[in-house]
Amino acid sequence: MSDKSLNIPDAETPEKFTGLKIGNIKKVAAGIPAVLSSFKHAVGEAGIIRGWVALWHLNKKGGFDCPSCAWPDPDDERSGIAEYCENGAKAVAAEATAKKITPEFFKDNAVTDLAHLSDYEIGSKGRIAQPMYLAKGSDHYQPVTWEDAFTKIAFELNNLASPLEAIFYTSGRTSNEAAFLYQLFVREYGTNNLPDCSNMCHESSGVALNESLGIGKGSVKLEDFYEAEVIMILGQNPGTNHPRMMTALQKAKANGAVIISINPLPETGLMGFSNPQTVKGLLDIDTALTDVFLPVKINGDLALLQAIELLLYEEEIKHPGEIFDTTFIEKNTEGYNEFISHLKKLDLPELAATCGLDVQQLQEAAAVLKDKTKLIVCWAMGLTQHVNAVDTIKEVANLLLLKGSIGKPGAGTCPVRGHSNVQGDRTVGIYEKPSLEFLNAIENNFHFTPPQMPGYDTVESIKAMHDGRAKVFFAMGGNFLSATPDTNYTARALRNCKLTVHVSTKLNRSHLVHGEEALILPCLGRSDRDVINGEEQFVSCENSMGVVQSSKGVLKPVSNNLLSEPVIVCRLAKSVLGTKSKVNWDNYLKNYDFIRDDIERTVPGFEKYNERVRIPGGFYLPNCNRDGSFDTTSKKANFNIAFSKKQQLKEDELIMMTIRSHDQFNTTIYGLNDRYRGIYNERRVILMNQGDMNKRQLREGDVVDLYNTHDNSERVARKFIVVPYPIPKDCTATYFPETNVLVPINSVAEKSNTPVSKSVIIKVRKTGH
């Protein structure tokens, strides 16, 4: 890299402290404090009436889908009171805010000045109220008409040497309808350059599950949690990232399930839950959730799973056919004998050392699993963002196959998605490597030949922009700069573009690190009313468990100059493609039912889409694993053979994982408190093992720089406050996006190409304040 150790101040979060206060780690998640926090945010942002209306219709039948995580609603309970969580309320409050950004704001505030604000300060400015344009060489956005904005984009796209020089990114909040239209436009334009946020989160899950089990989605329904005998949770923090999951875990516990939690940090939401929807919760009587907690070293999960499998195999030898489901294995799997041969060669003490646990702790977990036949395994980014992530998730599949825990009630895979429609976007075609069947369906239905060559994923897109191979970047939602790895590298990539365009609801850092020219196109949010020709429209989303349901906004938009995402795509397509297009974009502008009609014709599983999506609670998409089958080449599930490796660190090195605070959803920062971890009023902290602090002669409150030299380029995240925390030796944790600057662009998971944001090698050095 020729720009060795060159930082771009506008790209990174400012190196300033806000006044750290450290409290006690909470023992129980949710409860009355969560309710109070929810209403505080809703009323503070939107006002009493607007905030109450938004919360009342959140996740209700006939209301709108939460713009936060993708955890499902109970099948028969969607109309229940307060079917939302604290972070969902914060997400809605941020979107439903009455504050708006007008042209006067941009006139008074230069882009370079705004870049010196923190991400929290930038996001707190309000909703963008009109399209804005940044001319070449200017430091101020200025208002632009929608027509002129589309004309500008069309000119740049149509003057590229090839459609391959354009990148079209998608955020996971984009609805099925908008996503389908978006990929249709992009493919008619002539490229499969459709990177999305899934490339950075559960891509590893999709690759692993497809290869092992024949479908890249989880197999369980919510009701399976209530029948499970054991629930394993790996690399996930439900209390902060998927709080409504705790209700399902509480119900599972009441029905007799044993919960095994595997995570480097003892997260509050894994340990205890006070349900504010119950009398006991209102009385502050909590439910203990985790029965067995295994504080695994960062990226020690593969070794841990193999150790448990080895212990179970030893029991199977003593009691043939009683530990493993040999009937299921013989009928439904391939590679079992080879897998067992591999397993027998592994050394239990070595596996224990690799995952950082005692053999006795592993034996305790194996003892729980030994006689059980209904096992659910849940996981999130703590598994997916490592170099060996695909193999680790395949090991999850191995364990489930050994126990016959796929295709029956109370058992199966559960990759817990983050964004509320990231799974749905992939289902309807947002993918840089589309299947031949999908491309053929497009050609048959729309009478143009879509490109066959795979496009760029997120990391490949960044590299293409950085190298000058891509010149126009268009983002359908999201905060690309703050979500992606190697912040300064990505910033230079964006600045190499001729034009950057962002469809957004609120201001974010990606608007401030831009190409030669830039556009912000303000869109309706999930909670906003969407009216076309006098008729209210609705969109639809797919949750983590494959349910497609409607979402209909209820709030008056903060501006009359906002367009919905489907309308933006249609008008953009008409401007770019003109009379050459074979698609009837005008039809989609009349009513979203016409979009769903064409999704039904193109994507399997959407039969009678318009009819079924109007049924309260929606409908399930087909899932072969759920039905006990495997859509692999052999029509059987595949055991995988993988080798775990102990992390080799130099004497002064540590391994860092990036995490969210409790006042955060992905890159959206709602506040500066991480209540459950006892960290208040500060985000620039590094959580460290006390022994590692002692070794480096560090004390609580010391200020350090974090750095590494991957690819011979020094990356530095400056001024972080040391906080002692119960985390395994040699492991640290920091918040993203502040430390994304340390995640090397070339450090990715094998096969999935996902950035390894949970396995970052760093060093620390003490600095002056």
Residue 593 CA to chain centroid, in angstroms?
28
Residues with Cβ within 8 Å of 475's Cβ and at least 6 positions away in sequence, in order, are: 169, 170, 171, 500, 501, 502, 503, 510
Residue with tokens 């209102």: 282
- pLDDT computed for residue 730 by the predictor: 97
Determine the average pLDDT of the residues in 561-565: 97
* Closest C-alpha to 160, from 462, 472, 572, 460: 472
Determine the average pLDDT of the residues in 682-690: 96
Residues with Cβ within 8 Å of 41's Cβ and at least 6 positions away in sequence, in order, are: 89, 90, 93, 94, 670
Question: How much of the chain is helix, strand and coil, in % rounded to 5?
Answer: 35, 20, 45
* 25-34, 327-336, 643-652, 723-732, range with the lowest pLDDT: 25-34
Angle between helices 336-344 and 301-318 (to 10 degrees): 100
| Other C-beta atoms lying within 10 Å of the C-beta of residue 561 | 14
End-to-end CA distance of the chain: 31
With cut-offs at 50, 70 and 90, classify the pLDDT of residue 736.
very high
CA distance 418 to 167: 23
The encoded tokens of residue 178 equal 């908008």
Please check the confidence at residue 381 and state whether its pLDDT lies above 80: yes
- pLDDT computed for residue 32 by the predictor: 54
- pLDDT computed for residue 377 by the predictor: 98
If you count DSSP H runs as helices and E runs as strands, how many of each does the chain have, helices first? 31, 33
Please check the confidence at residue 318 and state whether its pLDDT lies above 50: yes
Please check the confidence at residue 634 and state whether its pLDDT lies above 60: yes
* 6-20, 112-126, 219-233, range with the lowest pLDDT: 6-20
Q: What one-letter code names the amino acid at 546? A: G
The encoded tokens of residue 477 equal 């939602």
CB 557 within 8 A of CB 529: yes
Q: What one-letter code names the amino acid at 383? A: L
Please check the confidence at residue 285 and state whether its pLDDT lies above 80: no
Name the residue with higher pLDDT: 673 or 42: 673
* Closest C-alpha to 473, from 195, 718, 765: 195
% of the chain residues with pLDDT over 90: 75
Phi, psi at residue 396, to the nearest 5°? -60, -45
Please check the confidence at residue 765 and state whether its pLDDT lies above 60: yes
Environment class of 233 (CB within 10 Å of its CB; exposed 0-12, middle 13-18, buried 19+): buried
CA distance 282 to 649: 47
CA distance 683 to 77: 37
Residues with Cβ within 8 Å of 56's Cβ and at least 6 positions away in sequence, in order, are: 63
Q: How many CA atoms does the CB half-sphere of 157 hold within 13 Å?
A: 27
CA distance 246 to 236: 12
Rounded to two decimals, what is the model's pTM? 0.94
What is the 8-class DSSP label of residue 622?
P
- pLDDT computed for residue 180 by the predictor: 98
With cut-offs at 50, 70 and 90, classify the pLDDT of residue 6.
very low
CA distance 10 to 488: 9
Please check the confidence at residue 39 and state whether its pLDDT lies above 70: no
Phi, psi at residue 50, to the nearest 5°? -65, -40
Please check the confidence at residue 209 and state whether its pLDDT lies above 90: yes
* 23-37, 637-651, 652-666, 728-742, range with the lowest pLDDT: 23-37
The encoded tokens of residue 301 equal 């999960």
Residues with Cβ within 8 Å of 130's Cβ and at least 6 positions away in sequence, in order, are: 102, 103, 143, 522, 559, 561
Query: Tens of pLDDT along 618-631?
Result: 999 999 999 999 99
Q: How many CA atoms does the CB half-sphere of 252 hold within 13 Å?
A: 30
CA distance 210 to 207: 5
Determine the average pLDDT of the residues in 289-295: 93
Q: How many CA atoms does the CB half-sphere of 77 hold within 13 Å?
A: 13
- pLDDT computed for residue 2 by the predictor: 35
- pLDDT computed for residue 617 by the predictor: 87
Query: Tens of pLDDT along 138-179?
Result: 999 999 999 999 999 999 999 999 999 999 999 988 999 999
- pLDDT computed for residue 85 by the predictor: 67
Determine the average pLDDT of the residues in 69-94: 64
- pLDDT computed for residue 232 by the predictor: 97
With cut-offs at 50, 70 and 90, classify the pLDDT of residue 83.
low
CB 749 within 8 A of CB 763: no
Asked whether the bond before 737 is cis by omega within 30 degrees of 0, the reply is yes
With cut-offs at 50, 70 and 90, classify the pLDDT of residue 668.
confident
Determine the average pLDDT of the residues in 225-233: 97
531-532 and 535-536: which strand pairing?
antiparallel
* Size of the chain, expressed as the number of residues it contains: 769
Determine the average pLDDT of the residues in 108-114: 96
CA distance 679 to 482: 22
With cut-offs at 50, 70 and 90, classify the pLDDT of residue 58.
low
731-735 and 654-659: which strand pairing?
parallel
What is the 8-class DSSP label of residue 373?
-
* 358-362, 385-389, 526-530, range with the lowest pLDDT: 526-530
Please check the confidence at residue 67 and state whether its pLDDT lies above 60: yes
Rounded to the nearest integer, the mean pLDDT of the chain is: 90
